[in-house]
Structure 1
């Protein structure tokens, strides 16, 4: 069993490192292209937008494959360990320092909720790498009387109010939908030049009925 899990983890790392980094580079090239295409070249701009959608679909599929290949991180070690692992991968690939406060918790988060928070965390770090131009990132995973709370803060470029109110800005709709499946939510606060803070929360499940 342990040999099989190690092999799955190795494959997950290779998919994440090779395919993930290639797709990220391709998306960055497409963003570079968007800034340089003349406004009157509408067919090329539409083609570029279609390519972006394909890349984003491939990124989502890659993330699902990687997560499915390494369920033991969540199942065996818990959400806190998975967050610390993903943060270390982020630092390795971007060079951006990331401070993580994610103590192991008494009582496991239910797997589906843990997976939702983990994928929200992955998406947030992807946004930081692509858009934030951050010099440092801070992560806090905690549990309080209301539930599990994940906070990710960066000191990057930030966003203005009109970007924040966009329903699907940087995939926020998808992240909110993940949290809302479990009665939670995602909020974002930001100011231009002062970084961005994302907070995702998921309530703790009610205790089972006593006989």
Structure 2
């Protein structure tokens, strides 16, 4: 069972491997075939060149054999003419012709010795060469016998008194050798033509193979391009879907963050109101009762009066703590006197606690903004002063508020150690994230950067619903 299950899996893997490697296999086979075809073409070219050269050589030997036969005929003609006319010019012509005959015979001898030493053709030509020499010598002897005076036969070689050579045997042998060379030349030409046809067929096959390969290559490239285009379109579609999803999730998270901030502010407001109304009333009533008891027992019970005095001090601390907690949750100065006064008060208190030199660039008159914008700007300033106190180790802090073109800008800077780029990229710095989220939820822009040369600069720009200025001279004078 296991082997039977593994067999289809192995076949599937083999088919997948073949599909993935099919182009490489086809290219390898095509390269091998092309190289083999080129080898065949080169071999055929060399054979054609050798066969053509052999055909030319055989034709040249045929011409030389014909020339030798013609020269022998001229030699006989000059001999006969001298015997008839007794003119010495024929003797000179005979000797010069004999020299040409020997030269031609020498060239042919070199050819036959170089081509096929020991063959039948070489033996036949060797025999013919000796007969030709004997023929020239016998002719020279016949010329000298026909003339009583000595003749100038030095150019004819040694005259011999041998019997005349059979001219028919020489001519027949030369004709046979000439026919053999003509046949060899024709055979070489036929082989050359055959090799040319093979070369043509191989070249045509290679051309057809290359054409098919180019067609397959372009087809495969087209398929790859189409596949890449489809993949790219899919990636673009997926990227667009992811972008839409991220945008939607971002909007949801912004809405959720705004909702959580609104809920937190509402809960802080409700808790501050309950602390002010309930706990404040309880602490105030308790302080009044303890003060009354302290006055009654001050003279009669000094020890109890001392305890009550200490209890009054604890109640004062509790009332102060309650007031501070309420101010942190829902600053009453922001509700009662507006944003400018609240920022001035917050800056003065922070400077007193941290021994800062304070630079204020706030409007003299208060500005009327919507409640959520005022709360957002106040919280940003509150968080910025807290961070400056904890981390900056600053000695000078500046705060500015400007309003123009339907926008309100808050700027806070210190001369501390300055925020680092790594701190800007951290995801667990909830203070910075909270400020960014709070500002972004109201459609504003939050920017924090390292100051020059040191320190930290915070710049917030938010749209404002109303820019109506209200003269609040009384609160400013009270501050």
- State if a TM-score over 0.5 links the two structures: yes
Distance 1:68 1:156, change over 3 A: closer
Gapped runs of 5+ residues in structure 1? 20-61
Alignment of 1:129-148 (within 5 A): 129-148=389-408
Aligned to 1:185: 445
- Residue 75 of structure 1: how far off its partner (Å): 2.8
The higher relative CO (CA closer than 8 Å, separation ≥ 6) is in 1
- Name the Cα RMSD after superposition: 3.2
Question: Which shifted more, 198-207 or 115-124?
Answer: 198-207
The structure that is helix-richer by fraction is 2
Aligned length: 156
> Post-superposition shift, 1:105?
5.1
What is aligned with 1:101?
361
Query: CA, structure 1 residues 169+146, in 2 after alignment: closer, same or farther (shift >3 Å)?
Result: farther
State the alpha-carbon separation in 2 of the partners of residues 111 and 11 from structure 1. Answer: 31
Higher alpha-carbon Rg: 2
What does the per-residue CA deviation read over 1:8-60, in whole Å, with 9 as the maximum and x for residues that have no partner? 9x99993389x8xxxxxxxxxxxxxxxxxxxxxxxxxxxxxxxxxxxxxxxxx
Shift in CA distance, 76/180, structure 1 to aligned 2, threshold 3 Å: same
The answer as to whether partners of 1:186 and 1:199 remain within 8 angstroms in 2 is: yes
- Pick closer, same or farther for the CA change 1:74–1:206 going to 2, 3 Å: closer
1:45-84 alignment runs, 5 A limit: 62=325, 65-71=326-332, 73-84=333-344
Establish whether residue 175 from structure 1 lines up as the match of residue 435 from structure 2: yes
2:347 counterpart residue number = 87
TM-score, normalised by the number of residues in structure 2 = 0.29
Comparing both structures, which one devotes a greater share of its residues to strand?
Answer: 1
Residue 161, structure 1, aligned to residue 421, structure 2: yes
Runs of at least 5 residues in structure 2 that lack an aligned partner in the other structure: 1-275, 282-315, 468-479
Partner Cα separation in structure 2 for residue 144 and residue 167 of structure 1: 33
Q: State whether residues 188 and 196 of structure 1, in contact with CA within 8 Å, keep that contact through their aligned partners in structure 2.
A: yes
* Partner-residue secondary structure (3-state), 1:153: strand
1:191: Cα distance to partner? 5.3
**Other-structure match for 1:205:** 465
> Among residues 375, 379, 388, which one is paired with 1:119 in the alignment?
379
